[in-house]
A and B are shown apart, each in its own frame.
Chain A
Amino acid sequence: MSEKFTRFFASRWGIVLAGAVIGALAPLLQKAGNPPNMGICVACFERDIAGALGLHRAAVVQYIRPEIIAFVLSATIAALLFREFKPRAGSAPIVRFVLGVFAMIGSLAFLGCPWRTLLRLAGGDLNAILGLTGLAVGVTIGVQFLKAGYNLGRSYKTYTAVGWIMPVIMIGLLLLRIFKPQFSEGGAIFFSETGPGSMHAPLYISLGAGLVIGFLAQRTRFCTMGSIRDVVLMGDTHLISGLGALLVVAFIANLILRQVSFGFFGQPVAHSQHLWNFLGMVLAGLAFALAGGCPGRQLFLSGEGDGDAGVFVLGMIVGAGFAHNFALAGTPDSVANGTVGGISPYGMAAVILGLVVCLIIGLTMRDK
């Protein structure tokens, strides 16, 4: 029975199902209260968690997002059920941390992870075309490094307890979300009262959707970066069929829910500074490719015992702290003032720095 399920999930229909379910649930999460064109965004939601913990003080993006917690825990459950929970670590963790930091800085320059890039497009946000193109370019650069022998070395089997660190951290976050303790007056845990951070679906809906998605994604190995990489590297369209399903189903769901509005300027939680939308995602795509997975995939891997993926996730959360503390993240267009948003000169410098660091990593870490 288990083998039959495994075969199905490994098939093209399995990956299409996973993409379709994400594409259906994300607009519904938005309907249930999550921010616009942000039913799910792994980067944004990790950024909100960083804010809730006080790692940055951008008051409008602070919330412990249950979807992230559920993704990891559900991947753990799926991995245990199918005997795939394998504690492993030791493949250049510090490099993965740095890649996580810059992946987040790139994602926040654009304002979204690859999942949200697709969801933004499915909501009519044409800036996402720049983001998607950037992502593809970044991944393609990463593939050139892979072809030239780039890799971060082997990971090794390790103690069972190592594999449990990320799931246990997520249980801790869930407790913080449920009990909302305040550790000092005016201090963390922070929960936004206005802005995207204040917009969220009820806890049980977020958790439920996250558990379904986490399970399917763990079984099917859904990965947006991998989708593009596999096409560029070897013409394999297996993973990208899931990505297509996500986009199509999310667009249809948004049409039904009347959540589509085409345009560049004034899109929700988005800016229309084209060059930096593009370059932000070039950086993100390259960092994902070098780290071997998009932010969602890294969460699922961390749930099945991959400590290195866990380090990447922690890098992203710390990167979100830098992004907001140093004013690197994108500022949305303001419809009220009619002003185009974008990133600050510091943000631009950080994206360029990130690209340089990733290029050095790609060039220097390879088998000759």
Chain B
Amino acid sequence: MTKKVDARGFSCPQPVIMTRKAIQAGEFPIEVLVETATSRENVRRAAEKLGCQVEVEEMGDEFKLTIAK
């Protein structure tokens, strides 16, 4: 089951904190939704730092990041 993190509308570091919590919970894959390019970069950097692979998909005004271990 894909774990979903809806971080749309939250400004950083909130999306990063939510993503880190999800990663630490250890259920993969994780789908993170964010709205700004800043959040996209921050979430990607934080997840990669924790040793995860990140795929980014642009969906209209939003970004979907799929995180796998």
Q: Which residues of A are in contact with B by a Cβ distance under 8 Å? A: 6, 10, 82, 84, 86, 88, 91, 146-147, 151, 153-157, 221, 226, 229-230, 233-234, 236, 238, 292, 306, 308
Contact = CB atoms under 8 A, between A and B. Distances in A.
Nearest to B35: A86
Contacts of B46: 234, 236
Interface residues of B, number: 20
B20 A91 contact: no
B25 to A, nearest CB: 16
B49 A84 contact: no
A82 B40 CA distance: 14
Contacts of B14: 151
A292 B36 CA distance: 14
A6 B37 contact: yes
Contacts of A157: 35, 61
Contact of A91 (B11, B17, B37, B38): B11
Nearest to A308: B11
A147 B24 CA distance: 14
B9 A230 contact: no
A86 B13 contact: no
A229 B20 CA distance: 15
Given A82-B37, A157-B61, A221-B38, A238 B12 contact: no
A327 to B, nearest CB: 34
Given A86-B36, A157-B61, A234-B46, A292 B41 contact: no
B8 interface: yes
Contacts of A233: 13, 17
B69 interface: no
Contacts of B45: 10, 236, 238
